[in-house]
């Protein structure tokens, strides 16, 4: 696991990067029986419909010939749907959250010298200043 993935995903103790042990099986079972059941997915259909309708209206309201940052709009759509599903409303600190998410994504997808030398990652992460960036993304 890369240094940035290790920092952002708590050392691989999650359902995506976790080892396939008893803890992972329990998390998978919990997701399958509580989060991803069809009844719960259908209960959020109105939220998805409303947010997609809002996105289409905002795109239709743009002047003809103007540019639309579709990546940003789809990121906002995803964040709004998640926010309504989880907390019942839009995220108040959405801009800060999305900028932190983009920063974490850049760290995950970027080149990391520590990945080439896995036997001395602590020194390389400290030497390149990557530790500060990783801590900032994780804590913000």
What is the DSSP annotation of 41-85? Answer: HHHTHHHHHHHHHHHHHHHHTSPTT----HHHHHHHHHHHHHHHH
Q: Which long-range contacts does 135-138 make (Cβ < 8 Å, 24+ apart)?
A: 135/7, 136/103, 137/7, 137/8, 137/100, 137/103, 137/104, 137/107, 138/7, 138/8
pLDDT at 84: 80
Q: 95-114 pLDDT, tens per residue?
A: 777 777 777 777 666 666 66
Nearest to 3 by CA among 139, 107, 106: 107
**Below-70 pLDDT ranges, the chain:** 1-12, 107-140
d(CA 60, CA 114): 46
pTM: 0.59
CA distances 110 to 60, 84, 134, Å, are 35, 31, 12
* Residue 131 contacts residue 125 (beta carbons within 8 Å): yes
pLDDT at 74: 92
Tokens of 64: 């003809």
d(CA 134, CA 125): 9
d(CA 16, CA 45): 25
pLDDT at 70: 92
pLDDT at 113: 64
pLDDT at 2: 63
pLDDT at 37: 85
């Amino acid at each position: 696991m890369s240094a940035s993935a290790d920092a952002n995903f708590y050392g691989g103790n999650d359902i995506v990067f976790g080892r396939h042990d008893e803890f992972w099986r329990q998390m998978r079972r919990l997701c399958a029986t509580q989060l991803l059941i069809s009844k719960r997915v259908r209960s959020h259909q109105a939220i998805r419909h409303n947010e997609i309708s809002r996105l289409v209206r905002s795109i239709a309201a743009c002047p003809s010939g103007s540019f639309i940052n579709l990546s940003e709009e789809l990121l906002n759509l995803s964040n709004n749907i998640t926010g309504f599903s989880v907390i019942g409303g839009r995220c108040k600190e959405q801009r800060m959250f999305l900028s932190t998410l983009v920063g974490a994504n850049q760290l995950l997808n970027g080149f990391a010298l520590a990945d080439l030398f896995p036997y001395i990652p602590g020194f390389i992460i400290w030497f390149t200043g990557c530790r500060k960036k990783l801590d900032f993304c994780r804590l913000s």
